[in-house]
A = this chain, B = another copy of it.
């Protein structure tokens, strides 16, 4: 039996959403963050050597890393859903956005967060470091002005991967297509079920 170890307000939301889209049965264990430091609790960090969210267990297996978990669940239980076939016209687009989310976009969100924590003054270096996040947002806006989903005309796991860094970038006021897209994703029945289970009692968290 699959268990999703969900750290409150973290990337593990995506795994719950994916399971709901696939109609896959799972147990959900929720872990609260330390109210002062916002750190994951020791029990969460002990699940997996790297200690980050998400983590799943499936029998004896403990698996971390969002992209690995998504690939694992799609390969084992996807039956071709939420991914594109190798001969699909949009196959490369699907792969690009699926991997861009955690390979480039989330690191840019984390870099901005680190710069904020460090409280360093603006310099050419900080502007260069912040530039990647702004560029990721502009690229996403351009993409969503052209197609309804990141892979093209079909909802795929690339969307499940991309929503987290879009939400994490916070100020979306200059990006009307991204805002409309994130709102559209939040209306999906599977997304709503996932959030009701993963973040019960939270108000809509997109704004």
Question: Which residues does A use to contact B, with CB under 8 Å?
Answer: 49-52, 61, 63-68, 71-72, 75-76, 86, 91-92, 95-96, 98-100, 102-104, 106-107, 110-111, 114, 117-118, 120, 125-126, 129, 135-136, 139, 142
Contacts and interface: CB of A to CB of B under 8 A. Distances in A.
A96 B139 contact: no
Contacts of A92: 61, 63, 68, 72
Given A118-B118, A125-B118, A72 B95 contact: yes
A63 B91 CA distance: 11
Given A104-B50, A120-B120, A136-B50, A68 B98 contact: yes
Contacts of A64: 96, 100
Interface majority SS on A: helix, strand, loop or mixed? helix
Given A49-B135, A66-B103, A120-B120, 15 more contacts: A49-B142, A50-B104, A50-B136, A61-B92, A63-B95, A65-B95, A65-B104, A66-B99, A67-B67, A68-B92, A68-B96, A71-B95, A71-B99, A75-B91, A103-B103
Nearest to A108: B107
24 contacts: A49-B139, A49-B142, A50-B100, A50-B104, A50-B136, A52-B104, A63-B92, A63-B95, A65-B95, A67-B95, A68-B92, A68-B95, A68-B98, A68-B99, A71-B99, A72-B91, A75-B91, A102-B102, A102-B103, A107-B107, A107-B110, A117-B129, A118-B118, A120-B120
A162 to B, nearest CB: 13
Nearest to A64: B96
A72 B94 CA distance: 10
A99 B139 contact: no
